[in-house]
Amino acid sequence: MDLKWTSKSLRNFESEISEIFNSGKIKAPVHLSDGNENELINIFKDISSSDWVLCSWRSHYQALLKGVPAEQVKSEIISGRSISLCFPEYRFFSSAIVGGHVSISIGIALHEKKKNTKNHVWCFLGDMTSETGVAQTSIRYAETHDLPITFVIEDNGLSVLTETRSVWASSTLRYEEIKSSKVVSFKYKSKYPHAGAGVRVQF
C-alpha cells in the first residue's frame, strides 16, 4: 500500500474531485467515497505492490492506496474514466458493470495459484453486488479451490437509492449468514450520493 495516505488526505482528494465535478469540468459520472477511509487503510496494510486489486465503479481510494500517483488518478478522473479506472502497471482493474470484476478476479487468482506465486487478489464489492449470483458463485469457487483471494464487501446498505436489505426482504445478507474465510466486510455511511457530488446530474 501507499503508506502516505491518511483518512484526512483521502477525504481531501475526494473533496477536490467533488469541487471539480460540480464546476462542470468532468463530463462523465464520478462515484465518490466517504466514510470508509479507516477500514480501507487497514485493509491495504496487507496488500503488496505485486498483489492485484479489482474494484467496481467507485475506486478512487483503492487506486490511491494501491500506490497509483494521485496526479495520475486525478488525470484519469478528469478525462472521464472514473467509472472504470484501470492501471495495469499497478495491477489495478475495475469494471462499471455490477459484478463484472468479480469472476475476472477468480481467473487472476487461478493464474496465481497455478503459477505458485505468493501474490494475492483483492476483490472489492458492495453489498448489493455481494448478493448476486456471480458473487455467490465466485466466493464458493474461491473457497472450494482455496484460491489466493479476499473479497472485501463494503456495505453501505444501498445500491444507488435502493435499500439492499429491503429488496431482499431480509435483515441480513448472505455474507452475514454464511461466514467465509475468503470474505472480509465492514459497514459505513457516505456523505456523497451514488453518483456525482451533490449537484444533481441525471444520466
Partner 1 sequence: MGHYQIELTKAMELLASNDKVIFIGQSVEVAGTLMRTTLENINPKKLIEMPVDEDFQMGVANGFALAGYIPISVFPRWNFLLLATNQIVNHLDKLKEISRLGVPPKVIIRTSIGSVKPLHPGPQHTGDFTDAFKLMCKNINIVRLDSHEQIVPQYRLALERDDGVCTLLVEWGDKYAE
- Summarize as ranges the residues that interact with partner 1 (CB under 8 A): 52, 81, 84, 86-88, 93, 95, 97, 100, 102-112, 133-134, 137-138, 141
Q: Which amino acid is at 72?
A: Q
Residue showing cell 483518512: 7
DSSP states of 42-83: HHHTT--TTSEEEE-S--HHHHHHHT--HHHHHHHHHTT-GG
Closest separation in Å from C-beta 182 to partner 1:
15
Nearest C-alpha neighbor of 51 from the set 128, 111, 101: 111
Instruction: State the nearest-atom distance from the C-beta of 28 to partner 1, in Å.
Output: 13
Q: How far is the CB of 151 from partner 1 (least distance, A)?
A: 14
Contact 63, 85 (CB under 8 A): yes
| Nearest-10 crossing angle of helices 100-114, 133-144 | 10
User: Whose CA is closest to 54, among 144, 135, 117, 118?
Assistant: 135
Minimum CB distance to partner 1 smaller for 147 or for 197: 147
CA separation for the pair 17, 87 (Å, rounded): 19
Q: Which is nearer to partner 1, 37 or 175 (CB)?
A: 175
Q: Closer to partner 1 at the Cβ: 86 or 188?
A: 86
Which is closer to partner 1, CB of 137 or CB of 190? 137
Smallest gap from Cβ 50 to partner 1, in A, equals 12
Using the minimum distance from each CB to partner 1, give the nearer residue, 81 or 165: 81
Counts for the chain of helices (H) and strands (E), in that order: 9, 7
Q: Considering beta carbons, is residue 33 or 138 the nearer one to partner 1? A: 138
Per the document, the length of the chain is: 203
